[in-house]
Structure 1
Amino acid sequence: MKIFYAIQATGNGHISRAQQLYPYLKKFGEVDFFLSGNNASLDINLPIKFKSEGCSLHYSKCGGLNYWDIVKNVKPKQIYKDAEILPLKNYDVVINDFDSITSLACKMQKVHSVQFGHQASFQSPLTPRPNKKNLMGEMILKHYAPSPKNIGLHFDKYDDFIFPPVIKDEIVNANPKNKEHITVYLPSFQQDCLEKAFNRLPNLSFHWFLNGIQTKYTDKNITYYPVNQAYFNKSLINCEGIITGGGFETPSEALFLGKKILSIPIRKHYEQECNAAALKKLGVPVLYDVGNDFDLIIENWLDSPIKYPVMKANNIPETLQFLFDTYNDK
Structure 2
Amino acid sequence: MKYLFIIQGEGRGHLTQAIALAEMLQNNKHQVVGALVGSADGEAIPSFFKDNFKYPSVAFVSPCLVYCRKTKALNVRKTLINGILNISKYVSSLKKINTSINQFNPDIIINFYDVLGGLHQFLFRPKVPMVCIAHQYLLLHQDFEHPKKHWLNKLLVNTNTFITALGASKKFALSFTPFNNDPKHGIYVIPPLLRSEISQLQTSKEDFILVYVTQHSLADELIKWHSKNTKIKVHCFWDKPQNTEVYKYSRNLHFHRINGQKFLKMMQNCQGLVTTAGFESVCEAMYLGKPTLMIPVPKHYEQACNAIDAKRAGAGITGVKFDLTDFINYIPHHQNISQDFQHWQAQVSRIFLREISTIFSVQEEIVPTFSFGNT
TM-score (ref. length: structure 1): 0.90
SS in 2 for 1:31: strand
1:24, CA displacement in angstroms? Answer: 2.6
One-letter amino acid of the structure 1 residue matched with residue 49 of structure 2: I
Larger relative helix fraction: 2
Give 1:301's aligned residue: 330
Any idea what SS the aligned residue of 1:279 has? helix
In the superposition, the TM-score normalised over structure 2's length comes to: 0.80
1:179 corresponds, among 203, 206, 210, to 206
Secondary structure of the residue aligned to 2:133 is strand
Residues 60 and 188 in structure 1, CA contact (< 8 A), matched pair in contact too: no
Partner of residue 138, structure 1: 158
Pick the aligned partner of 2:121 from 89, 95, 106.
106
Q: 2:320 aligns with which of 266, 280, 288?
A: 288
Is 1:76 matched with 2:87?
yes
Match of 1:151 among 144, 147, 172: 172
Moved more, 162-171 or 208-217: 208-217
Displacement of 1:323 = 4.2
Aligned to 1:240: 271
Aligned-residue sequence identity (percent) comes to: 24
Deviation at 1:19, TM superposition (A): 1.3
What pairs with 1:161-176 in structure 2 (closer than 5 Å)?
161-176=188-203
Give the 5 Å matches for 1:210-221: 210-214=238-242, 215-218=245-248, 219-221=250-252
Indicate which of 174, 178, 193 corresponds to 2:221.
193
C-alpha contact 1:246 1:276 (8 A) present in aligned 2:
yes
| CA–CA distance in structure 1, aligned partners of residues 220 and 136 of structure 2 | 31
Equivalence for 2:137: 120
**Which amino acid counterpart does residue 240 of structure 1 have in structure 2?**
Q
| Alignment partners' CA distance in 2, 1:137 and 1:105 | 19
Distance 1:295-1:118 versus aligned 2 partners, 3 A rule: closer
Distance in structure 2 (CA, Å) of the matches to 1:314 and 1:58:
35
1:130-181 Cα distance to aligned partner (Å, 9 max, x none): 2334322332233344323112211012222211112221211211111121
Query: Residues 236-290 of structure 1, C-alpha deviation per residue, up to 9 Å, x if partnerless?
Result: 1111001001211110110111101000011211211111121221342111345
Q: Secondary structure at the match of 1:183?
A: strand
On the 8 A contact 1:35/1:48 being kept in 2, the answer is no
- Aligned partner of 2:108: which letter? V
Cα distance in structure 2, aligned partners of 1:205 and 1:194:
12
Residues 239-248 or 42-51, more deviating: 42-51
Q: Secondary structure at the match of 1:250?
A: helix
Q: Given the superposition, is the C-alpha separation of residues 301 and 41 from structure 1 closer, same or farther in structure 2, using an over 3 Å criterion?
A: farther
| 1:105-141 deviation digits (Å, cap 9, x = unpaired) | 1112212211123223333222332233432233223
Identify the range of structure 1 (101-110 vs 191-200) with the bigger mean alpha-carbon deviation.
191-200
Tell me the residue number matched to 1:67: 76
Unaligned stretches of 5+ residues in structure 2: 182-187, 364-375
